[in-house]
Amino acid sequence: MSECIFCRIVRGEIPSKKVYEDEHVYAFHDINPVAPVHVLVVPKQHVDSMAHLTAEHEVAMGRLMVAAGQIARDQGCTDGFRTIINTGRVGLQEVYHLHLHILGGADPLPPMLKR
Ligand code: 5GP
Ligand code: ZN
């Protein structure tokens, strides 16, 4: 069994505020939100990062993208939102189980990167 924190959340071993689940995808509120809406969407199958994706992940990642748009709308982000996938050391990825951030609820959101 994986000790990965997001694998443990998917298995229900660590509590989370679930917003969506299907065969391939699990989504939950970020524990430390940086916007009024801050949801994490993960593939149920562990993959370290976006840089580790291969053809075997295409179905799950396609489902993840479709689910993310639906989740954002369900969270009230009908006029737009932002999605982010931090990858690797340079991308300041903290949790090495691929996850898509959905950020919204501010109008507008702050600029993407500080200069
Ligand atoms: P990263 O920097 O890897 O893209 O983002 C990791 C995110 O996971 C952070 O926004 C952090 O707040 C969130 N996070 C870390 N541990 C937990 C947890 O145990 N539960 C939840 N819900 N979010 C977590
Ligand atoms: Zn994992």
Residue range(s) defining the domain that contains residue 60:
5-104
Answer whether residue 60 is part of any domain: yes
Q: What is the pLDDT along the chain (115 residues), one digit of tens a residue?
A: 789 999 999 999 999 999 999 999 999 999 999 999 999 999 999 999 999 999 999 999 999 999 999 999 999 999 999 999 999 999 999 999 999 999 999 999 999 877 6
Measured from CB, residues less than 6 Å from any atom of ligand 1 are 5, 14, 16, 28-32, 40, 86, 92-95
Clarify whether 99 is annotated catalytic.
yes
Res 1: pLDDT = 77
pLDDT reported for residue 115: 64
Q: Which of 29, 57, 99, 101 is catalytic?
A: 99
**Is 19 within the bounds of a domain?**
yes
Question: Which ligand 1 atom sits nearest the alpha carbon of residue 38?
Answer: 10
Query: Relative to the CA of 34, which ligand 1 atom is closest?
Result: 10
pTM over the 0.75 mark? yes
**Sign of the torsion angle spanned by Cα atoms 29, 33, 34, 36:** positive
pLDDT of 2: 85
CATH code, domain with 67: 3.30.428.10
Number of structural domains in the chain: 1
